[in-house]
Each structure stands twice: as C-alpha cells, then as structure tokens.
A and B are shown apart, each in its own frame.
Chain A
C-alpha cells in the first residue's frame, strides 16, 4: 500500500489536501481535507443583519456573487419581503449572478483545469504571425517558465496544433473572463464583490443606456462560449475519452435551482427558476428538495462532537486536535445520503426533467460526442455540463436584460424586525448554496452557511460514507504514482472552492475556552 499525498492542491480556490492510499495501482481509500478555517459565523454574530450580505461575499472571491444572492434571499425572508421583490430588482440580481457564473466557468476550464490536459510549451517552436502564440513563444524562449513549470509529466495527449490552439485560447480566455466581470459591473457596481445586490432588490437603476451596453458586452462573450469554449471542451473530450468513465462519484445529484423567473413567491424552492431545484440518481430517478432534510455530520471534522444537526441548529466549536478528524469541512448529507452539487447536478436534474432550454443543448453535445447521458456522470461530464450551462445562462441573459423596465421600482422597502428567522437557497457556480439567519434584538444572533464545496469536498460521515470527491477518486487506477494526473483531473472537475467550503461554525455564543485569542 502506497500513500499519495497532494498538499497543496493548486488551481482550485482555497486550501485542499488530497491523500490517496493506492494498492496495486488502484486507489483504495481517498481523503479530502480542507486546511483553512476563518470562523465567519463567529464574526457575523451581533452585527446589523444588512452587513451579512457584504461580509458573506468575502467567503469567496471567485464566487462572491452567489453568496450575495443567497444572503440577500436569506434577509428578504427574515425581513418578510421575499414575495415583494420588484421585477427590476429580481432581473438585475439574475444578471449579476449570471455574469459571475460565466466568469467562473470560463476561468475554471481554461485557467484552473486546462493545464492538466494542455501542453502550453507546444508554442516553443511556433513559426507564424499569431501575436498570442508569438508572445507565448518569446516567453518560453526567455526560459523563466513559472508558473507553468514545474508540472506533472507524461500524459499530454493533444496534437501539437491542438495544444497550440488551446494555449492561445487560454490567453484569449483571460480577456473573456475579465469581460464577464466588466459585464457584471454594469449593474453590479464592481466585480468581484458587487455592491448592488441588496435586501429588497438592487441598487443600480436600469436605463436604456445600460441595457444596450449590457447586451453588446454580452454578445462577445456568447460568441466565445459557442465558438471557442464548447468546441475546446469537446476537443479535450475527444483526446481524453477514458475520462468519460473516470471519476464518476456518488451518483446522487442535488440542486436548489437558481435565477428566479417569477415574482411574488416567498419560498425559493417553490419559485419557478431558470434552472429548477431537484434531486436525481444515476438511473434517472428523481425527487423534490426539502431543506428540512439537510443535516451536517462532524464525525471526521475538526469540530467538537455533536449529533448530525440541521442548519441553524446544533452547537459546534472548533477542535483542531480531535481524534479521527481530518478536515475543516463538515459532511452535509440529504436524508443521510451523500449528494454531489454543481453544474452537473443542475444540468442533469433539469435534463432529466425535460427542461426545454437545457435538453436540446445537452443532446446536441452528446450527439457530437456520440455518447449517451451516462457519459455526463464523469470527470468529462462535469466539464461539459459547466460549458453547456454557461451557454444556457449567457443566452438566457440576453432575454432577461430586455425585460428590464426603466423608471420602475428596483427595491422594496423593509423594516428590520426585532426577532425573525430566514433562509436563502440558491446556487453559486459550484453548486447548491444555502444561508440561514436568526435575528434577535434586530441583530444577527446566528448565521449559517452550507456551501457547494462542503457537499462535494466533505470527509466521511459517521456512517463512514466518503464524500463525493473521495468517492470519485476511490477505485481509480493510477498509471504513474509520481505523476498522478488521474487524481488531480478528477478533483479539479468538481471545481473545488475551499474558502467557501470550510464551515461557517454554528456556535451559540460559547466562548472559545481552548484558545487565548490576542486581538
């Protein structure tokens, strides 16, 4: 038995360690460890509730928008205005969130994942007029090749021409993801860390000027998704076809859904959304989502032991020296079962439901790959779902922006109640995201987040069931233990975001008796 330890896993967000025990070149056991804790819930306690959506954005700088939305939906509910968001406010929120989905997905494929599949040094002997390839060539000639070396070696399969094209697209994608943020700033004020999503609606006013600007900045991004991003994903799928059967994982998928498309409904899980909520299993069985069936296990997490508890209940305090624990992530479970969240979950759930906007896009891609839907449940499937979702969202945004009504309200009024509770359920680019609040004396008494990578990167629960990333790695054959491409390709297909994942501890004001904090 050999142990492969990868710490740090790079080209993700945040701090992750993977440990794989390999016997006869097959992974027998995998452990996923989050190695950072910040304590957001403790920091939120006692503050004005409206500060929550600015502070919780700082949980993650790649997907802050998802947090601003979930937090704001949470506050809408706690303030009693969840069914009073004006049309303009709802649409502006969707547009800002959508822009960050596009930014995040493009960043993920090109700048986080692609270096596992693309050899950028293929530009070294380029002879031609393309300025990007010449810039890459000059860079390689200078010989100072950080950050592209060191790297794993021995399994780059694209042809020289495809490698060069992909490397050029890596550079082009740097511009496109920047443009996605410029697009987001039109209504979001600035990106990352938008300022415009607020309880009641939004703060930026729609004008014809901004609508036209948004539409035409979006157009260039849509062309990139259709003409470059999706074809690149399909090209990688063609050369790495074995990954359609590697990294499948737990085969249960969960989505709360996102992008509200109707006004006047208080419960987020009952609203019509552009991507609907749902659960699905690998054989196509489906079910609804009941937030009351979510619980979090801490058996292998660095928090004091508690029974599996529901969000906004329970009592946990950090315990970094707890025996048997190996992660700062908790283990969220639905009805006690392991579920994967993310673009694959959203796309698969909506595909199985026959969603008229999603099904044709997915069937088209599967047709080009000459594969059936089961190919989606894999490493490659996650990359494909992410790209197809980007197309779906980008195309939808062109329609949404045209429904804005200059001159009409953008935000509902509210009073902060003395005491209240709320829940905000939505999706960040990486998956299902929930925020919960309890208000007492008009201040935050308790704030809880269960975030996408907590689901995906969770450690084993009390029943010993590994989390989705762990399950996806277990059973995989590793060709070369010194260059375990298989492990990192599987992990990165989940697009892990560890800053999010580490639990926002649900304390009840108990002081941290174990530590002397020098403030």
Chain B
C-alpha cells in the first residue's frame, strides 16, 4: 500500500531557530524517524521547506514556497517558527525576493496560512510573539494567535509554545494529527495549546511541591526547598516538564535548582518579570487550585 504523505512547510521569521534545535532533540521517535521513515505506520511527514536543513537555496526554494498553495490547496501543514514583524510594512524581516523586491515574512505567512490545512504556531514566538514582541516591541512582532485573525485567516491554528518547546510536544502532536486528524476544539485550551501536554500547571506535579506546602524555601543557588522565593513561575505555567523533564529525561530546570521562568506562557518575560523575583501573592491567587 502506498505511503500517505503529509506535506509540511516550515517557515522561520523573527526567531532564533531554538525551536528547530529543540525538535532535533526528539527521542521515540527520533528526528530521523520523522524525516525519513513512516513515523506512524503507513504515513510519512514530507518536509518540503525548512530553511535550516533543506538542501536548496535562493529562488528555487522560494518556488517551493509559492508551489505549496498552488499544488496542495488545504493539503499541507504550515509550521511558523519565530514571530511575524508587521511594523513598516513588515520590513524588519524578509525572505527571498519577487523581481528585486524583498518579500516580507508577514506576506509569506498570510499567503501560506490561507491555503494550509492547519497552522502550527511553534514556540512562544510563533504562537504568541515571543521575545521580539516584548515591550516595546520595536518591530510590531506578532504571534499566529493575533496575526491570523488580523489578516482574516481562519485556518485552524494549533499552538505549541515554549522557549523552546520540549520536542515531544511538537513531534507527538504531529503524530496525533497523522493518526486521528486535527485536534477537536475540546482538545485545545483557550490559547489553542493541546491539553495533553499543556493541561496542568508545573506546580501541580512539581517534586518540590511538598516544600512549598510546608513553607520551606530555597534562598541561594543549590539550596534544597521550593524555588518560589527565587522567582519560580511554576505556579503560573501550564506545561508537563515536571513529568517529562528535558533532554530525554536527563534533567530539567527545577531539578537543577533553576526556577521555572514560565516559558510556555504568552510574553512571559514581560508578564512574569523579573525572572528572579518571586511572583506577587495577588498574581498567585489567580492560579490557586481548589
């Protein structure tokens, strides 16, 4: 039986490629299984465009981008890594040229998103605007959650935030799309994040939670105890790092004595600033568990 191909077009805007680097760290499946093999039986991810790894360059790859809406209408998944600068006509980020005129990244995203089967807003930047959108947002950077409605694009959006996201959150969400189709509305939270990995607060599953409940707090780097007094945003951050940990179970932020910085939440560097000061009691009230 012929393998079913899911074409994926992965574009990068005002980002840092950290999401791509993180996805390369996937285990079970590994990235080679995603790139080369039938990552779920009978189905292969056909990565048509990815600036960091693709063999081609220049005009031929711009033709690949143009070809997607033309030849695969509603038939490909668009992954947006990096935020989308919109100020001054999108001049702050351009990819390729039309004649001799640079093409703003924003225009690529709008065109590709309109004809996509679904859009994945990858990383805090792709989903919510990320670091470039933090105050004062000099380039008018947007995440997909704002950009798509602003441009009148109603293609289904799925957000996989994190700075960067854990590779599993992306790879296994793609596997789920292959296996059972696009997520149903009840599978996503109000920020369009899949509940299966963003459904609980770090704080709900944190191994240091007993210290928090007993009021024993770390004061200095290396101290045992809850990291709340050292700025931990675990009580306000929806992600499953406490269970999954990072880098194939090697370690993770809190286990290494580093407070959670809330990197799966929108504009966390603004909303949870400063990183290393404790969150106010008032803010904590919003996240109190019953």
Contacts and interface: CB of A to CB of B under 8 A. Distances in A.
A11 B57 contact: yes
A38 B14 contact: yes
B205 interface: no
B250 interface: yes
A39 B139 contact: yes
B214 interface: no
Nearest to A172: B32
A42 B138 contact: yes
B25 A144 contact: no
A38 B141 contact: yes
Given A142-B44, A318-B138, A181 B64 contact: no
A51 B5 contact: no
A11 B57 CA distance: 8
A139 B55 contact: no
Contact of A111 (B12, B53, B273): B53
A147 interface: yes
A43 B131 contact: yes
Interface string A126-153: 0000001001101100101011111110
Contacts of B87: 515-518
Interface string B72-105: 0000000000000111100111111100001000
B222 A38 contact: no
A61 B250 contact: no
Contacts of B252: 185, 189-190
A251 B202 CA distance: 52
Interface string B190-224: 00000000000000000000000000000011100
A55 interface: yes
Interface stretch (A1-9, A375-383, A393-401, A466-474): A1-9
A124 interface: no
Contacts of B181: none
B16 interface: yes
A430 interface: no
A297 B248 CA distance: 44
B107 to A, nearest CB: 14
Interface stretch (A192-200, A252-260, A384-392, A421-429): A192-200
Contacts of B18: 58, 60-62, 64, 192-193
Interface string A189-228: 1111101101011111100000000000000000000000
Contacts of B140: 515, 517-518
B32 A7 contact: no
A50 interface: yes
Interface string B48-70: 11111111111111101000000
A181 B25 contact: yes
B277 to A, nearest CB: 7
Most buried by B among A135, A186, A193: A193
Interface string B245-258: 01110111101111
A6 B30 contact: no
A175 interface: yes
Contacts of B60: 150
A115 B37 CA distance: 19
Nearest to A151: B55
Interface in B1-53: 3, 5, 7, 12-22, 24-27, 30-32, 35-37, 44, 46-53
Contacts of A115: 55
B16 A195 contact: no
B132 interface: yes
A313 B82 CA distance: 30
A54 interface: yes
Nearest to B274: A48
B171 interface: no
A197 B91 CA distance: 35
A64 B58 CA distance: 27
Interface in A27-41: 35-40
A7 B46 contact: no
Given A48-B277, A193-B163, A204 B52 contact: no
B152 interface: no
Given A10-B54, A38-B92, A43-B135, A61 B246 contact: no
B16 A61 contact: yes
Most buried by A among B21, B51, B96, B257: B21
A439 to B, nearest CB: 14
A13 B51 CA distance: 8
A255 to B, nearest CB: 24
Interface string B115-152: 00000000000000011101111111100000000000
Given A10-B54, A144-B7, 15 more contacts: A7-B58, A10-B51, A11-B51, A43-B135, A47-B273, A50-B274, A55-B269, A61-B17, A135-B37, A139-B37, A187-B256, A190-B253, A195-B261, A411-B221, A517-B137
Interface of B: 3, 5, 7, 12-22, 24-27, 30-32, 35-37, 44, 46-62, 64, 85-88, 91-97, 102, 130-132, 134-141, 163-164, 220-222, 246-248, 250-253, 255-258, 261, 263, 269, 273-277
7 contacts: A10-B54, A38-B132, A42-B136, A43-B138, A60-B18, A142-B44, A195-B258
Interface of A: 5-15, 17, 35-40, 42-43, 47-48, 50-51, 54-55, 58-62, 64, 107, 111-112, 115, 132, 135-136, 138-139, 142, 144, 146-152, 171, 174-175, 177-178, 181-182, 184-193, 195-196, 198, 200-205, 318, 320, 409-411, 413, 488, 499, 512, 514-519
